[in-house]
Amino acid sequence: MDKVVHFEVPYDDADRAHAFYREAFGWQLRTMPQMGYTMVTTTPTDESGRPGETGGINGGMLARQGPITSPVITIGVEDLDESLARVEKLGGSVKLGRQPVGDMGFSAYVTDTEGNLIGLWQNA
């Protein structure tokens, strides 16, 4: 069973969004200017940076762009290419295909049969 492993929240104004989530929820934010991305910590992490609490997930924030216009959940998969093919076979569509994310893994974005944007993640 594939599980939710990450979330993304798009913004129009980075400073305003960062201040809101930091103050409203106490989230820790770490900007990564070279990637145009902000890592979001919502739960304590272990030494590897993974959530240390059962059921906890962390996420990210990025400028609203392309297909990412509203919050997205990201599902961890074993084989990204197989998952993309399965999504299409079941009536979904690929919005942004396999993309490397540094040396950490690969991401893609799909829509489900209801038009919801879903992120997919495969560890390297």
Q: What is the pLDDT of residues 52-74, one digit of tens each?
A: 788 889 999 999 999 999 999 99
Q: Could you give the percent of the chain with pLDDT greater than 70? A: 100
Q: What is the pLDDT of residues 93-103, one digit of tens each?
A: 999 999 999 89
Pairing of strands 117-123, 37-41: unpaired
Quick one: 59 exposed, middle or buried, by C-beta within 10 A (0-12, 13-18, 19+)?
A: buried
Q: Where are the domains of the chain?
A: 3-123
- Element spanning 101, H or E: strand 93-101
Q: Which CATH number fits domain 3-123: 3.10.180.10, 3.40.50.1370, 3.90.1300.10, 3.20.20.140?
A: 3.10.180.10
pLDDT of 53: 83
Instruction: Work out the average pLDDT over 8-28.
Output: 96
Which strands form 58-63's sheet, in the order they lie side by side?
28-32, 37-41, 58-63, 3-11, 72-76, 117-123, 105-111, 93-101
